[in-house]
Amino acid sequence: MDPKLGRMTLKEWVAIESDSVQPVPRFRQELFRMMAMAADMLQRLGARVASVDMGLQQLPDGQSLPIPPIILAELGSDPTKGTVCFYGHLDVQPADQGDGWLTDPYVLTEVDGKLYGRGATDNKGPVLAWINAVSAFRALEQDLPVNIKFIIEGMEEAGSVALEELVEKEKDRFFSGVDYIVISDNLWISQRKPAITYGTRGNSYFMVEVKCRDQDFHSGTFGGILHEPMADLVALLGSLVDSSGHILVPGIYDEVVRLTEEEINTYKAIHLDLEEYRNSSQIEKFLFDTKEEILMHLWRYPSLSIHGIEGAFDEPGAKTVIPGRVIGKFSIRLVPHMNVSVVEKQVTRHLEDVFSKRNSSNKMVVSMALGLHPWIANINDTQYLAAKRAIRTVFGTEPDMIRDGSTIPIAKMFQEIVHKSVVLIPLGAVDDGEHSQNEKINRWNYIEGTKLFAAFFLEMAQLH
């Protein structure tokens, strides 16, 4: 592949404002244009392509918008070869130059070997790297070492609307011949050392509402004579986690997998410069002092974060108001083998106990808005061995075997519905800034990542 051609195409793709988060017709049109461009590119490679109509997305205000099609594509159907399916998404988070971008987010701009632009690393760059790897075999007039399938969506940043329904429908058709599934939608843990990801945390997102009445109160008229909802809520939120990050909900750690010596050694082997990590994060001090402790608390232990309070006065200035109804928002990142429904019961019981001891006349309601299970894979599966060998070939080093502290629901979804091995092979460096201002992918990562995918096809063919 001529690197210039790849950059030109990435430039064209980044130029499309395929924002799925803001539900407005203009961005939805851009999403349809993005999906059509990708389908056309795959067809020109010789793939059989179906753009599946996903119907309408119903919005909270009663309006509806068309959901961009999901692309199902396949190249090759040789029964003697393994079949690898690549998942990617072509929608992006919102971006506006006025929000702190140093360049126009929709104009791919190279500065010192870094390609800046919204979607460059999340996820247009990796999708194109996979397509470029396939096209390299075509350009050399060589047979693909494996059969390739693609599933590409345009609504990942908005919760993968309608994806699960399609995967369920296609599990015995499109996915029936698939042996392995590859996702490239996260980052390395360092700037120069490649990684393979074999697990992610889940997420249970909670709301706790405390209500006296719908209207707010004047603190001069009512202060001192009622149970204030905000005081109740602050006490509830304060009961969840201590200053060392330990979650105080009884039983919450009961199902967490016990730590083994073998697992500790995997953390020791990972390259992480704590000083560089701390400085780049602009954090004065972490809760833990060693690399191993930090990685374990990011990946293999649950964490609880308090996100905000709805209904509280948060504007500039002084307003002597007592909120009549407030909603606290917090979430727990789950790890194997924590169960979403068990966690929901534990959290609800704990908050009810704390609230009852306050003897408040207010009403409290706890609800779980989101429940996503953690995902973990077997690193001895064939495609993990193939990915390791491909990384050694291209980068000349062993990869970091990492987990991700965030939640990637599609990995768990594919594993549970399709019952195939899933691997995450990230291409981007730790400082790529996915979702934030000045998102980028390094030119080196993009080109070497393309080579990595090509090498991965060859390794998969040998191991299969």
CA–CA separation, 69 vs 462, rounded Å? Answer: 35
- Structural domain containing residue 15: 3-200+374-463
Q: Which of 17, 156, 232, 404 is catalytic?
A: 156
Cα separation, 119 vs 34, in Å, equals 12
Peptide bond preceding 445: is omega within 30 degrees of 0, i.e. cis? no
Whether 39 is covered by a domain: the verdict is yes
289 catalytic, yes or no? Answer: no
Does 271 fall in a domain? Answer: no
* 110 and 217 within one domain: no
CA dist list (Å): 9 to 116, 243, 358: 14, 49, 61
Please answer whether residues 180 and 113 qualify as being in contact, where contact means their C-beta atoms are separated by less than 8 angstroms. no
276 in a structural domain: no
Same domain membership, residue 387 and residue 321:
no
Q: Is 96 a catalytic residue?
A: no
228 assigned binding-site residue: no
Q: Is residue 241 domain-shared with residue 351, that is, in the same domain?
A: yes
Report the predicted TM-score, pTM, of the whole model to 2 decimal places. 0.90
Query: What per-residue confidence (pLDDT) applies to 2?
Result: 47
Candidates 339, 354, 382; CA nearest to 251 is 339
CATH of the domain at 31: 3.40.630.10
Identify the pLDDT of residue 169. 97
pLDDT of residue 281: 82
Of 352, 372, 392, the residue that ends a domain is 372
Q: How far is CA 67 from the centre of its chain?
A: 20
Q: Are residues 141 and 21 in the same domain?
A: yes
In CATH, what number is assigned to the domain containing residue 322? 3.30.70.360
Q: Supply 90's token pair.
A: 């072509």
Catalytic residue chosen out of the listed positions 17, 19, 30, 91: 91
Q: Does one domain contain both 69 and 195? A: yes
Task: Select from 372, 401, 425 the last residue of a domain.
Answer: 372
Return the SS3 of 310: strand
pLDDT computed for residue 1 by the predictor: 45
Q: Is there a single domain that holds both residue 58 and residue 207? A: no
How many structural domains compose the chain?
2
Same domain, 72 and 214: no
Judge whether 400 is annotated as a binding position.
no
Strands 147-153 and 83-89: parallel
Residues 380 and 431 in one domain: yes
Q: Residue 244 domain-assigned?
A: yes
307 annotated to bind ligand: no
284 is in an annotated binding site: no
Domain annotation covers residue 195 = yes
**Domain assignment of residue 307, yes or no:** yes
Residue 68 CB-density burial (10 A; 0-12 exposed, 13-18 middle, 19+ buried): buried
Tracing tokens 């990946």 back to the chain, one arrives at 299
Q: Is 89 annotated as a binding residue?
A: yes
Please say whether the dihedral angle defined by the alpha carbons of residues 140, 14, 68 and 30, taken in this order, is positive or negative.
negative
Boundary residue ending a domain (372, 404, 420):
372
DSSP classification of residue 19? B
pLDDT digits (tens, 9 = 90+) for 209-268: 999 999 999 999 999 999 999 999 999 999 999 999 999 999 999 999 999 999 999 999
Q: What is the pLDDT of residue 276?
A: 85
Do 442 and 356 lie in one domain? The reply is no
User: pLDDT per residue over 102-135, tens digit each?
Assistant: 999 999 999 999 999 999 999 999 999 999 999 9
Q: In this structure, are 382 and 411 located in the same domain?
A: yes
Residue 227 placed within a domain: yes
pLDDT < 70 stretches in the chain: 1-8
Length of the chain equals 464
Q: Are residues 310 and 413 in the same domain?
A: no
Output the pLDDT for position 6. 52
213 and 65 both lie in a single domain: no
